[in-house]
Amino acid sequence: MFMKKLIIICLTLCFSFSSIAQTDFKEEGIRDLTTVAGLGLGGAILGLSTLSFVEEPSDHLKNILVGASVGIVIGVGVVAYNQAQKSQATIQQTSIKNFDTKSRLNWHATNTAKDIKKFNSVNPKVGWTFNF
């Protein structure tokens, strides 16, 4: 009974959606969830199809769970790959042309030096000396 409640709670949390202001993210989440669920279902069907090749199918019902698990893992991999590719495309579109590595390093060096001078002028220097 405990396992049944635990499974219901886990499935409820996995398939519940948080409210998102932009519909693109929600539709994308539904598409990703559908991909994972579809591949999990496909894996379960493949696991079910292996039962016809054994003499005692009732002894090998775990093949269905193994197939579903493998399908879900593959589905998560596909979704992660798609998200990584989308992120890479987004990063490449937003790159600033006149801000290469050398320019960034120079910018950080000058701004950091200004901030350090400002911090040191405002805060008094305190030192500690310990003698044993």
User: What is the Cα–Cα distance from 47 to 61, expressed in whole angstroms?
Assistant: 8
Q: Is the pLDDT of residue 8 over 70?
A: yes
- Cα separation, 11 vs 53, whole angstroms: 31
Helices (H) and strands (E) in the chain, counts: 4, 0
Q: Between 48 and 130, whose confidence is greater?
A: 48
Radius of gyration of the chain (CA): 28
Q: Please enumerate in sequence order all residues whose Cβ is within 8 A of that of 43, keeping only pairs 6 or more positions apart, or say none.
A: 67, 68, 69, 70, 71, 72, 74
Sheet strands (E) in 1-132: none
Percent of the chain with pLDDT over 90: 29
Q: What is the pLDDT of residues 101-115, one digit of tens each?
A: 777 788 888 888 888
Is the model more confident about 23 or about 31? Answer: 31
